Structure 1
Amino acid sequence: MGEEGPAVEPLVVHALIRRQLRLALVAFGLLVVLLGPLPLVFTALRDTGAWPGSALIVWAVLGVAVYPVLVAIGRWYVVRAERAERDTADLAERA
């Protein structure tokens, strides 16, 4: 690596950190947009005791329907974070 190696490494690591922070903010934004309105939707529903089956719908959404969204966002984030790390490792090896 010579003299250039130590100066390049902090820049490469800083770029990786920025890229992963951007990914994390996008994943958080997706969570907020897709799952954030759920409490508002549930609040807008009429009293769950007055409408038969509404409590079951609420719990089905919270207990079942939310998890595929969480898994999909998590998988999206992990795949892209690993890709960023591989790209950074390749860039560091070339430097």
Structure 2
Amino acid sequence: MNVPEPQRSRVVLSQRRGARMVRTRVEVQEHTEIGDAMIRGLMRAQLGLAVRLALVTACTLGAIPLLCSVFPSLSSIVVLGIRLPWLVLGVLVYPLLFGLGRLYVRLAERNEQDFTDLVDD
């Protein structure tokens, strides 16, 4: 009886998902050159995000006194017995800072999730 031989298949290391995932994790955990480069990339992304949001915050907060000095009539406006610049700097800035803080946390977590996906892929 002629039994047909099973068809041979070629297995390449890059085709196996588990091998690459384990190798990438080991490289990160053992701080090899590739793992260190990946961690530096994550740190660079987090630093870039922090610097960009710090610049947005500084420009926004710096614009308030600048506007009041350029347009002196804004400084004379009184709302609820408080001058407008003090009201803006003392009360209205906090929701802005809270929103920027939440945005930073969300984007930083996205960077970390992208890094985790890269390592686990």
- 5+ residue gaps, structure 2, are 1-21
C-alpha RMSD over aligned residues: 2.5
* Counterpart position of 1:77: 104
How many residues are treated as equivalent by the alignment? 91
* Counterpart position of 2:64: 38
Provide the identity percentage: 33
Q: Which amino acid aligns with 1:31?
A: T
Pairing 1:29-68 to 2, within 5 Å after superposition: 29-44=55-70, 45=72, 51=76, 53=78, 55-68=82-95
- 5+ residue gaps, structure 1, are none
The structure that is helix-richer by fraction is: 1
Q: Distance in 2 between matches of 1:28 and 1:10?
A: 26
The range that moved more, 52-61 or 26-35, is 52-61
Could you state the TM-score of these two structures normalised by the residue count of structure 1?
A: 0.75
Hey, which bits of structure 1, 4+ residues long, moved more than 6 A? none
Quickly say closer, same or farther: Cα 1:77–1:2, change in 2 above 3 A. Answer: closer
Could you state the TM-score of these two structures normalised by the residue count of structure 2?
A: 0.61
Q: Distance in 2 between matches of 1:33 and 1:52?
A: 23
